Amino acid sequence: MAEYIEKQAAIDTILGQPPDAHYPDWYASQVKALPAADVVPVRLGEWLDGYKMQTCSLCKCRGKKSWTFCPHCGARMIYGKREE
């Protein structure tokens, strides 16, 4: 699983040291030691037209077009044409 860090934490770690004070491996070890950020991948879906209710394009759960998120998979619903 991928790990993410906060950009500002990495910048502060590197710029907090004197220039040319360490080797690149040392800086890499400092960045690796930063705690992982709490992130969740964004899932984008869209409501597909149905008879009375719409269907989520990702998990096929049924819902209302006015809902901005799918209640089953948590995907954020977008409207109009998607850009891939």
3-state secondary structure of 10: helix
User: How does pLDDT run across 25-46, given as a tens digit for each residue?
Assistant: 887 888 888 888 888 788 899 9
pLDDT of residue 80: 53
Are 53 and 28 spatial neighbours (Cβ–Cβ below 8 Å)?
Answer: no
- Ordered by start, the domain boundaries in the chain are 1-39, 41-84
Are 25 and 33 spatial neighbours (Cβ–Cβ below 8 Å)?
Answer: no
CA-to-CA distance for 75 and 67, rounded, in angstroms?
Answer: 11
User: How does pLDDT run across 51-60, given as a tens digit for each residue?
Assistant: 778 899 999 9
**Global pTM?**
0.49
Mean pLDDT for the chain overall: 81
Closest CA to 73 of 54, 45, 48: 45
